[in-house]
Each structure stands twice: as C-alpha cells, then as structure tokens.
Amino acid sequence: MLNERGVSVEILKAKAQEIGLDGIPEEAWGNLVKYCEVAWDWNDKINLTRHTTPELFVQRDLLDSFQLAKLLGPNEEVLDIGTGGGVPGILVAILRPDLQVSLCDSVAKKAKVAEDIVKQLKLDVRVYPLSVSRVLEDDRFDTLVARGVGPLVRLCGWLKEEWHKIGRLLAIKGPKWVDERGEARHRGMLQGVDLRRLVSYRMPGTESESTILQLARPSSPMVRTLGPQEGKD
C-alpha cells in the first residue's frame, strides 16, 4: 500500500532490484518503509537528509547500510557516531537484528530525532546525546561506524586517545577518501593505526564509487576478520 510519502514495500523492493541489491531480509522491509515515513516527516522540521525519495533512499542510504552490515560479525556491539537521521546505524539495526547497535550525536536535536525514530520502529537501540569521546568514557564497542560526519583527519582526531577502547572503525567514504588518507597521514593521525580498504562499490546513477575503510590498532583482534580479497592501502 502506497502512503503519502510515496513509499511502500513493493516500491523499495523494485528500486533495490533495479540496482541489483539482493539479500535484504524479508522481515526488514516493513521497518525500512516505516523508517522512511518517520525520518522524512522529521526532515520537514529539521534538515537530516536529501535522500527523501524511494530511489535515493535505496541507492544511497540502504545500499551503504547493506554493504556495511555485511562486514559486521555476529552479535557485535556497534556504535554509529554522528548518526544524524540514523544512517547507517538504524538501518543496520533493521538489517541485522542480531547486532547490539547504539547511536550517538553531540547535536541534541538530532539525537532527539534518532531517539524518536528508534521508539516508533520499536528497535532495541540506545541513543547517546553525546560526542563519541564522551560515550567512550564509560562504554566499549567492537565496531564504530560512520558516514558523512567529516574527513578522516577529523575522525582520527576524535579517536586519537580512544583506539584502545574500540575494536575498529568502519567509515563509509566517497571518491575523495584517498586525499583524506593523505591529509591524515601528513598530520600524523594514522600513526599506530592500520587502515584498510575493505570494499568499494559503484554509486548508482553516478560514475563514482563508495568505499568502506577499516581503521584499527594493528593489535586489534578485529583486524583478523579481514578476508582474502580485502587489502591494505
């Protein structure tokens, strides 16, 4: 059934099929539609995203979150930093209910939005209205995830004193990630940090690629989760 936002299970499935996005759990589609309804309603009040059509949602938000979810191990404790409207964290929680997902955002009104979305979707997801460094004062996580919250030099700056408290960071990046890596290296932010490109995939409708990077201490047990096709950059 089509709602006032022009989104339904059938439409999302069709858009996913158009880009060859297979493997979404059948039980996830209902909550994906509900996410669009709630998040886009909030977007009328507070700027969260430009992806407010089924096509853009699937091509950007769902594709990124699906690719990320495939890299997470069973029952991992995951923290989405700078979550904004809940991407990728909320979508990962929908796609992978076995994971223990938390979200954080230091902007109070965005954390409030994320909290409302989680509540309306009835997800077991904790939301911290705090910066990542504040969250890590008291809690530990297997994997931190991030998309669109800043360049690598900023992410590494936030985590400079925190790497020993996490297993790894998975960062979704666009085509400028190589330049970001160069800047981070130049500023010494990657000293003692193992950086690997885990996967790259085309952004539908563009000539560009998205890339998911893994950053971790070389001694982190999470580094050993890399497969044979994954390489160091």
Strand order in the sheet with 194-202: 126-128, 100-104, 77-81, 141-147, 166-173, 209-216, 194-202, 231-232
Please say whether the beta carbons of 203 and 176 come within 8 A. no
What residue type is assigned to position 54 of the chain? P
Location of structure tokens 């989680």: 118
pLDDT of residue 176: 95
Rounded to 5°, the CA angle 211-217-222 comes to 70
Collapse the DSSP code of 180 into the 3-class scheme (helix H, G, I; strand E, B; otherwise coil) and give the result: helix
Is 205 a residue whose pLDDT tops 50?
yes
pLDDT bin (cut points 50, 70, 90) of residue 222 is confident
Helices (H), 57-140: 63-69, 89-95, 108-121, 132-135
How are beta strands 231-232 and 194-202 bridged, if at all?
A: antiparallel
Collapse the DSSP code of 154 into the 3-class scheme (helix H, G, I; strand E, B; otherwise coil) and give the result: helix
Give the predicted TM-score (pTM) of the model: 0.93
CATH says 63-232 is which class? alpha beta
Domain segments of the chain as ranges: 63-232
Location of structure tokens 């952004």: 203
For 47-76, what is each residue's pLDDT tens digit?
787 888 999 999 999 999 999 999 999 999
